[in-house]
Structure 1
Amino acid sequence: MPDIDAFRLFVAVAHSGSIAAGAEALRISPSLASRRIASLEETMGARLLLRSTRRVQLTDAGARFFRWAEQTIASYEDISSEIGMQAQEPVGTVRIAANDYMGPRYLLDAVTRFREQYPRVRLVLSLQEDPIASIKLGYDIAIHVGPTPEGTLVGRRIHTYRRLICAAPDYLRSHGTPTSPDDLEGHNCLVHSLNDTRRWTFRNQEGAFVTRDVRSVIETNSYPALLNLAIRRLGLIRIADLMAAPPIARGDLQEVLADFRSVDPDGRDPAVWLTYAERPRLPRVRLMADYLLETLKALSEPATD
């Protein structure tokens, strides 16, 4: 029987250009991944990858095998899903990548409820900085914060949200409270390395757009870390209302520039997206996508405790 897991590993390595990245996508060690690739090459009787210190590349034989492996994996998953659906119960694996905006508090609630209803579906969850990149590594669904998905990706909006500018009350007492985007020049700002640029765009109450450079003093790839750094009085943050509501209610943070709407560089309101590479052909993936969309919309109401 074909080793589907080995095929999945090979496809993930080919997409990422790295055995380590392919191993991470399948949640195995790089050493095990290297042994499986070597075993696959031995079975095929040909070298499939050219290895260098920086990147791996497909050989001619590897390119042909890559196209065949993708088709084989798709066919295997189709028949697996079809057979599972004969019992009127979805079966198989769904791979989900998300960043930490939704966080364990929301995504884990959703998948817990899903598993209670569909116990034969195995779920692989990965919280990471750039969920969109995981689609190329074989993940079925990505949940992310950011602009509208581009290219061949299909994006379904979970919800739009307000992005607040916040700081600790003690920080504002020490550094002053900004009353317009022009005041940001003199403030310490804490930024997200992927979704938060060093140029912040606002829409005022008249609908005009204002963009200002900010002074980044700390950059991190974690929204919870940004929140905690702001609570520790280190500067201003841009953060979703969903995450800011509890510390604001406790008095740990204070919103500023409330008359200016923080928007994406293209002027659109920020949104949370459920994204996949194409319209899901597997029933279990379609089911999970629809379920997450409905459930996360319900869970994404701003919290106050």
Structure 2
Amino acid sequence: MDKLTSIRVFLQVARSGSFSAAAQQLRISKAMASKHVSSLERQLGVRLFNRTTRHLSLTDTGLNYRDRVQGIMEELEETELSTAKLSAEPTGTLRIMAPTSFGSFHLTRAVAEYRRIYPRVSIDLIFASRTPDFINEGLDLAIQTGELKDSNLVARKLAQSRQVVCGAPDYLARHGIPERPADLERHNCLLFTPRSPAGVWTFSGPDGVYTQRVQGDVSANTGDALRIAAIEGCGLIQLPTYILGLDIKAGKLKVLLEQFEPPARPIYAIYLHRAYLSAKVSTFVEFLYQLYQPIPYWERWTGE
């Protein structure tokens, strides 16, 4: 068996913790994955895994071997990928999952611009605010906001998004401008139910991040619905700038309590692994990175 392929299979088994999961991710049979690892063990003359009917773990030798070959294989794969990219034109269908609001406001626009450059790529967009299941949903790429939880995924940071409190000029003229988070108790606050179902907003102060209870008579599970309600003067909202930035720039909404803003949330492009990364994925991720750097357009109302 080809030794490089066997090493790749070994690394995937080590990452996945099972032959079944590794085989599924590599699109080979479980038996073939086992054969590759056994072949590698015979060539090295060592046992790389402790195997039982219920458990699989790396031996000390396996741990040492994994640590040594992982960096070498990543460099080799990146070299092969960069070489292949020189002659590979992106083609095929690119299946992407993104949060509903970010997808509607920004990803659709980016897709249109990307396809003017790469017309042979078809795009299949899935807008959902759930954890992406790359294998079962056949995803090539996902956009995720906030800190990442799955360390097995490869991530590239695309941008930062601030979380701001806003109100329409008409609402503020009628109800006044809050000077500190505690003042929100006297205001009608519109609630984004996926993030603050109990009426809790997050802020930063001298002692770090803290929460402020708020209440209001309008709630919704999409940011766009609350954005429209706020523009119509229904109350105050706390949402990401990628939802509100263009309305702030247009003067439809005014930013409040800027000195109490919580830490900005990162926006990532995530995918399964560097190995065999297709041109359609790599070019789209690079396109998004260039589009949103150094300051994303939804933040350019700040004058920074």
TM-score (norm 2): 0.62
CA distance in 2, matches of 1:102, 1:156: 17
Residues 192 and 222, structure 2, Cα contact 8 Å, conserved in 1: yes
The alignment status of 1:244 with 2:244, answered yes or no, reads yes
Distance 1:162 1:65 in 2: 41
Amino acid paired to 1:222? T
SS at match of 1:111: helix
CA distance in 1, matches of 2:211, 2:94: 40
SS in 2 for 1:215: coil
Aligned to 1:200: 201
Using a 3 Å threshold, how does the CA distance of structure 1 residues 213 and 154 change in structure 2: closer, same or farther?
farther
1:129 deviates by 2.8
Task: Describe the superposition over 1:106-129 as per-residue Cα deviations: whole angstroms up to 9, x where unpaired.
Answer: 323322233233333222112223
Compute the RMSD of aligned alpha carbons. 3.6
Counterpart of 1:286 in structure 2 is: 282
Alignment of 1:119-198 (within 5 A): 119-130=119-130, 132-135=131-134, 137-196=137-196, 198=199
Q: 1:103 to 1:123 in 2, by over 3 A?
A: closer
SS at match of 2:89: coil
Check conservation: 1:107, 1:296, Cα contact below 8 A: no
- For the residue of structure 2 that corresponds to 1:178, the secondary structure is coil
Name the residue aligned to 1:269. 264
Measure how far apart 1:237 and its partner are.
0.7
Conserved in 2, the CA contact under 8 Å of 1:134 and 1:142?
no
The Cα offsets for residues 34-92 of structure 1, whole Å up to 9 and x where unpaired, read as xxxxxxxxxxxxxxxxxxxxxxxxxxxxxx99986654389xxxxxx9xx979632333
- Maintained 8 Å contact 1:100/1:224: no
Q: Percent of aligned positions with the same letter in both sequences?
A: 30
Q: Which moved more, 1:153-162 or 1:104-113?
A: 104-113
CA contact (8 A) 1:242 1:303 kept: no
Matched to 1:238, the amino acid is Q
Query: What are the ranges of 5 or more consecutive residues in structure 1 without an aligned counterpart?
Result: 1-63, 75-80
Q: Distance in 2 between matches of 1:209 and 1:296?
A: 27
2:7 is aligned to none
3-state SS of 2:270 partner: strand
Per the normalisation by structure 1, the TM-score is 0.62
8 Å contact from structure 1 (residues 106, 300) kept in 2: no
Question: Could you say which residue in structure 1 is the equivalent of 2:50?
Answer: none
**Residues 46-57 of structure 1: pairs in structure 2 closer than 5 A:** none
Range moving further from structure 2, 114-123 or 226-235: 114-123
Give, in whole Å, the separation in 1 of the partners of 2:138 and 2:118.
22
Deviation at 1:190, TM superposition (A): 1.8
What are the within-5 Å matches in structure 2 for residues 20-99 of structure 1? 71-72=26-27, 88-99=88-99
Deviation at 1:272, TM superposition (A): 1.8
Distance change (3 Å), C-alpha of 1:298 and 1:118: farther
Aligned to 1:59: none
Question: How many Å apart are 1:175 and its aligned residue?
Answer: 3.3
In 1: Cα distance, 2:178 partner to 2:158 partner: 32
- 2:273 and 2:194 map into 1 onto residues whose CA distance is 24
Deviation at 1:238, TM superposition (A): 1.1
Kept in 2, the 8 Å contact 1:168–1:252? The answer is yes
What amino acid does structure 2 have at the position aligned with 1:113?
Answer: E
Per the TM alignment, residue 156 of structure 1 is displaced from its structure 2 partner at its CA by 2.0
Q: Partner of 1:259: helix, strand, or coil?
A: helix
SS at match of 1:188: coil
**Equivalent of 2:293 in 291, 297, 302:** 297
Deviation for aligned residue 1:179: 1.1
Residue-pair matches, total: 229
Residue identity opposite 2:284 in structure 1: M
- Deviation of the 1:209 alpha carbon: 3.2
Distance in 1, matches of 2:282 and 2:177, equals: 47
